[in-house]
Structure formats: C-alpha cells, structure tokens
Structure 1
Amino acid sequence: MNIPAFGLGTFRLKDQIVKDSVSTALALGYRAVDTAQIYDNEGAVGEAIAESGIPREEIFITTKIWIENLSAGAVIESLKVSLSKLKTDYVDLTLIHWPSPNGAVSVAETMQALVEAKKQGLTHQIGISNFTVALMQEAIDAVGAAEIATNQIELSPFLQNQQVVDFARQHNIAITSYMTLAYGEALKDATIMQIAEQHGATPAQVVLAWALQLGYAVIPSSTKRANLESNLQAQTLKLSPQDMAQIAQLERNGRLVSPQGLAPEWDA
C-alpha cells in the first residue's frame, strides 16, 4: 500500500487541542494521521479516531519510535504501548523517529526489530525519519530498500534536501516532507505570495502543491478548521513549470530542526 500523499501532522499538539484537530480533519476528509511516541499525544489521537465513527481500515496511522526505544528488546514492546494508546491492533506505518545518537544502537538492530514487528502484524509498513544518505545506506544494507516505505525529512522551499531526495529516489524510497511550510516562514515569501495571487490560492496551498507535484507526501498540521480545509485543496492546485522553477530558486539550506545531541551530521 502506498503512503497517502496528504495527511495531518500532530507535532506540538496535545490533549484536547490535538483531539479537536484530528476530529475536525477526519470530518473534512483527511484519512492519514501522523503522530509519534515523543509527541505525548497518541492517546488523544486514538480517542479522536475511535470516536470518529470512520472504519479503522480507512485511516492510515503513522507513529514513530523514540530514541530510548530503539534497541531490539524495546522496539516491539514500546510499539505495543503505542498501539494501546492509539486504541488499535496495528499502525499502518512505523518509523525510526531519529537515528540513535552517536550510533548507540545500530540502524541494523532497530530496522531488523521493525521487520519483526511487521511480521507480527503490529505495523503494516516500516520506515525512517531524519536519516541522511549514509544512514539510509545503513538501513538498506540491514533490511533491503524494499522494506523501507519512506524517509520522513524536513523539506521546504528553503531546505530542499536534494541529496537525500535523489538517493531515496534511486532506491524507490518515498519522501515524506515535514515542516513543509517552514514554521509559516514560507507563507511570507514574496515569490510564493506572488504565485498564490496568480492562482487565486493561499501561500500554504502553493507550498503544499509544490511538494505534492514533486512527488512528496505532506503532513501539515493546524488547529483551525478553515486552514485544515484550505490545505486539503492544495491537492487540486496545478502549478506551472515556471512556478515550480521559481520555487526551486528559494533553496537556502534553511534547516529549522536540528536538535543538539539528536541531529545526525547532515548532508551538505
């Protein structure tokens, strides 16, 4: 099963706020929700999904294993805890959230544990997040590229992450873009605002359409119904080759997420 191109992100949203966001998104037609163990919101996300009345098999749920749970003995047990919180027997996709700092746990150990979780039916697909080219190669060496559904990475008009994208594409590994709107900074960019005006669209729709047209999955988050609804319409916005070329020129290696002690040595 392919990863849905459009989903809802839940980073930084908790308790009733995340529950409302997920409930509203599902009511509007979203069918993919992205969470993580470290977000401390799997319980609220699970409640919103359970109360939505939408059949479980129609919703694509992604969660991510936190660094403390990357060892072979901890991956499956922690995933079972996540499933309990999410009120489901399985998730559709489980990612390594961040590579183990300083390689304390090898990529191979965690990937092999995720393959076992998949065999046990706890997750339908597995993948990685925040992996560099070198780390992707380690994951491929461990379990084969065909096992890796996606690499979820920070990717925006200001950080196009081309080396990672190119390497992933060579191995048929999908890219999921997070922070696509660059914490909202991309919405203030003059080029993007101009393209939006030409199309009668919002800047957010333009940025999301750009990522979608490049073949990436996107998981924007919002707590506002109007924005959740508006973002969905990016799927039908068609940007011209000239629009795409103009946005490509905005690259400036503008990385926003690089936590000290957690981030790997990024590709240039």
Structure 2
Amino acid sequence: MKNKMYEIIWSGNKYTNSSGRDGFVPFVIVNHISASTMSSMDSWFTSSGNAVSSAHFGVSRKGELHQYVEIERFAWANGTSLSYMSKYPAQVWIDQKYTNANYWTVSIEHEGTDGDLSEEQFQASVWLHQYIRDYIVDKWGQECYFPLDDYHVIGHFQLHSWKEFCPGIMFPWARLYETFQKETQFEEEDEMNKILDYDQWAWDELDKYLGDAYNDQTITDWKWVQAARDKTLVYKDLLLLKVLIDERRRDK
C-alpha cells in the first residue's frame, strides 16, 4: 500500500476559507462525505460566495486527491459547539475540553453520498491519512506522531449532532482501522529489523558487553560480537541477546 504514491493536486484559491491554528498542532483526522461530486467540491470550496465551509482534502471516486487548505492552517470543517453536541462525542473532543475541533484536526472529504467508497477511493484515502500523519511529524517533529486508530481518526458525526450520518452509513470504518493496524504492525517489524543507529562510543560499549558475555560463555556464538564490531547488529537481535544474557547470568 505504501509503495504506491499519489499526486495531490492543489485546488484551493484566494476564496478558500481557512484560519490560523493559534499554536495548535493537528493530531486528529476527521472524515467527511461530500454529498456531491468532486467537481462540486472544487467549485464550492473556491467560490467567492462560500463564507461558511472548507476542507483540507477531497478524495474522488477515482482515487484523485485534491487539497484546498494547507495543513498548517485549519479548514472550516469541524467547528464544534456544545449547543449541537453529537450523540456519540469523540473521546478526543471530550479530552480537549470541547475546544473548537478545527484547531487540532485535519479534514478529508470523500466524494459520494453514503460512504460506500470505491476501491480506488478507499486506497487513496488510506494513503492520504498516512501522508497527513507523516507530514505533521515532518513539520512539527517526531513528538507529534500519532497512531491512526479510532481515537485519532474519527467521523464528522462524532462532533456534530446535525451531521449524524457523516461520513455516511456505509463508510468502511472496520476495514479502515484494520488496514491501519496492519500497517502499524508492519512498520514496527520493519523498525526492529533496522541496524542500530549508534554513535561510536555506544558500539564500543556494546562490543564490550557482548565480548564479556562470550568470554564467560554466556553466549557461545562469536557472530554476535562480530556483528557489533561490523556495526551490523539489528534492534531485534539486540533485544533477544539482552534477554538471553540476563536470564543465563541470573541462573548461574
């Protein structure tokens, strides 16, 4: 999935509504349904007569991606009020003490009416969610990373009582979360197979640690010491060695 790249077409203009985030960093993605065509979205979000709404992104039935508002600014998509509070309020909104959700969210509109996404649209939306999260990390730092789960990826219906069917009764929530969970597992496995990113002093300490374990026969395979000296040891093997060495020394 991540191997496929999508082009994001800038589609906003001087009339597209947006505001500053006032120091907030976005960490929640809100899904919407357009109840219209992609061309209608493009027209409305760039109209001089539109003084009420906008969105960051739109995803067409064909899997095309349009961007109307920079992520650095908030779109007029998820403004919240206790006067029209959702029947199923998102936990994140409660935790944010019911502040205006526009400040800390990024919005995705999906072309359609009931949320039954085409396969091309679903795959493009999955990629877009990941792109948004990665863009935020690149822009504001690794400490702003957030998992794509049901806390950080929500529907408009969880913020508004009068949007109780947005992004549609057919929106594929279960499949979306399952896809993100698999991606997270893959990323974690990939990280575990990376070579240790150590400075020279740390490699020297590791060489001594494994060398001592080899000399006292706690481990018997020289390849682990050699891997440390060659700087080719991966995270997964280091964790396994640490557990093995600690358990064997404890049993002595």
Tell me whether the two structures share a fold, i.e. TM-score over 0.5: no
Task: Tell me which structure has the larger Cα radius of gyration.
Answer: 2
The structure whose RCO (Cα within 8 Å, separation 6+) is larger is: 2
Q: Which has the higher helix share?
A: 1
